Amino acid sequence: MYMRCLFSFAYLLCLTLTVLAERPFELVVHRGPDTLRCTYLALRETQQFRALPEGGYTKTRLLHTGEERIQYISHEEERVWDRAEALCGGRDGWDFPTLLHTIAPPTLSAEQIVFGIAHSETIPLEVEPLITSGDSSNRVDLVFFADGYTSEEKAKFIEDARRLAEDISGNQTFYTVKPLLNFWAAFTPSKESGIGTGGNTKDTPFGLYRDGTELRSVWYSKPEVARKACFSLGDQCDYPILMGNDPLYGGLGGEFTVITPSLANGALVLRHELGHSIIDVGEEYDGAESIDYFGVNTAQDTSLDAVPWAHWLTKAANSPHSHLHNETAAAPRVERAAMPLQEYAWTLLNTSVSWSTKFNSSGTYTWHLVRFSLSGIPHAEDLRVALDGKDLGWVPRQDIGVDRWHYDIRIDSPLSPGEHEVTFTLRSKEAEGEAQLCSIEILEFGDDDEFVSNPGHYSLYPTFSEKNATTYRPTNEDCLMRLVTTPNFCKVCTEGLWHALLRRVTLIDTLTVGCAPSGPSGERTLDLALVPLAHLRARPVDVEESYEVTWVRDGVEVREWKNQTSVVDAGDALGSYAVQVRYWTEEVRVDPDRLLESEVEYVVTTRCA
């Protein structure tokens, strides 16, 4: 906790206390998991990390490059340096790129800064606020960086970034936690417009490109520039988003969230990738690698201890276990489904040969779903999708054009036991070279008693990896971590989101203690500025929430000050004032680290007059 003094007309003297926990130190290392050679290291003082474990916090993740990313946070700077040397050898031998700061750079807003990059090159970074709610030292900050936008396209960049920020925080996805977030746009002009294709980059700051021309991942070629750009912003850059100026689907998650401003897909990719990086949860969709299923939305087995959302399970009145009055005490039930086919085809279609694949059904399920995604096929007559020769009547999403989209065709009858075939037949010669089958999946489900497909039902839903290994997720399709076209997280991920954000944000922004001129001895004023949640929101949200504020003077609760954010006491009063703030929201059911509480104390040692 530190304090600074302010003077104003209304107050003779006023002290504003910011209630931030002590700033810890953060180490980030990239290294080969086999060679143990470090390729990048960053060390800096960083934003508060509440409920930091005694020995520090460590998180290890595998990057797309095959390297591991190790993050370590501790209050003790020496420990962080020791860890750095334990991972990368003595610092004299560090011959890889490093970013080192022990004092966090100042918070910047709406001003231009210029920072150096390797070999004394510089790139300018013009930072503009998009949506802000408070000082970056007590908020989680998301920054859009521009790639492939020329100086003439600056307005387009700001507009694209603003549209996406508003999409994911206006009335859905991140809207309830919006007061904990800041969104910024950091513009750097590119010499060329657009992103590279065929594995080649254009002359742009971060070198974004596609492998071929087909719509799939968008890669970056200059991570060192992106790292430096984000690092230079200090507390103002918690989650960097590299946005490539291209109208169509593409993206990547991981160290940087890479997106395009595609009208259909930009927000969809952004919120899914931010789900991974902010909440630290894995996939819920089928067909990923086993290591991609982790976090609060994943149960590795069906024992109740292994289910992170045990406290969200729906009491199922009609379940086979309903005779057990205490549902949670029993083994939780598993919804009955199977995945007889899953393929990330990523294949260009042509008119000479249909693309088809076969699968076997056990014939024991009640209904099934054909789920696929396509790009480059704007018209219904361009493509025939058939199951066992029967046309499924595919029609493209309205106005999708050549962009990628996801389709579900539900068939309310069982598949017969034995072999089946699904076929994609391209009928338009003009679409060749662009028409792409991205993914195809067949799912089979039990009847209504065996598989509850209703939204809002929390149970154990099997998710199948690429190798058909089973993990479990909380809902059928409520979460955007499974169904990327849905705009919201399920309750389990939303609770995880609150926990993740409140580790870096405390509910009390400031307590301002001052004197007001009134009567002979004046008045003691105490003004609390809270993160604008509950009744303090600029725009109310459709969830139940409240703030409870308790004032304690010299160890005794002052009941008449209950729930007040501004209180007045006698100007000649001395002693201690403590204020305890508790936030409650129906979106959080457990709070083991007491992140939904904050407290500040101030001792008055001089009288007002």
Site residues (CB under 6 A) for ligand NAG? 171-172, 326, 328-329, 338-342, 347, 350, 352-353, 355, 358-360, 362, 419, 468, 546, 548, 562-563
Nearer Cβ to ligand NAG (94/359): 359
Q: How far apart are the first and last CA of the chain?
A: 27
242 near 257, Cβ under 8 Å?
yes
Nearer Cβ to ligand NAG (27/338): 338
Nearer Cβ to ligand NAG (4/467): 467
The minimum distance between CB 341 and ligand NAG, in angstroms, equals 6
248 near 404, Cβ under 8 Å?
yes
355 near 349, Cβ under 8 Å?
yes
Nearer Cβ to ligand NAG (352/398): 352
Q: What are phi and psi of 305, to 5 degrees?
A: -60, -25
Q: How many CB atoms lie within 10 A of CB 349?
A: 25
Q: How far apart are CA 501 and CA 506, in angstroms?
A: 9
Nearer Cβ to ligand NAG (119/467): 467
- DSSP-derived letter for residue 96 is S
Nearer Cβ to ligand NAG (245/565): 565
Residue from 461, 501, 468 nearest 483 by CA: 461
362 near 417, Cβ under 8 Å?
yes
Q: How far apart are CA 111 and CA 97, in angstroms?
A: 27
Instruction: Please compute, for residue 187, the number of CA atoms within 13 A of its CA located in the half-sphere on the CB side.
Output: 23
Q: Enumerate the β-bridge partners of residue 31.
A: 38, 68
Distances in whole angstroms, Cα of residue 533 to Cα of each of 508, 530, 540, 606: 11, 8, 9, 33
Residue from 414, 420, 286, 415 nearest 359 by CA: 420
The minimum distance between CB 207 and ligand NAG, in angstroms, equals 30
Q: Enumerate the β-bridge partners of residue 125.
A: 113
The minimum distance between CB 584 and ligand NAG, in angstroms, equals 7
Nearer Cβ to ligand NAG (248/338): 338
Crossing angle between the packed helical segments 154-169 and 266-274, to the nearest 10 degrees = 60
34 near 87, Cβ under 8 Å?
no
Q: Which residues contact 94 (CB under 8 A, 6 or more apart)?
A: 38, 41, 88
The minimum distance between CB 608 and ligand NAG, in angstroms, equals 27
- What's the token pair of residue 103? 């004092």
Q: How far apart are CA 293 and CA 76, in angstroms?
A: 33
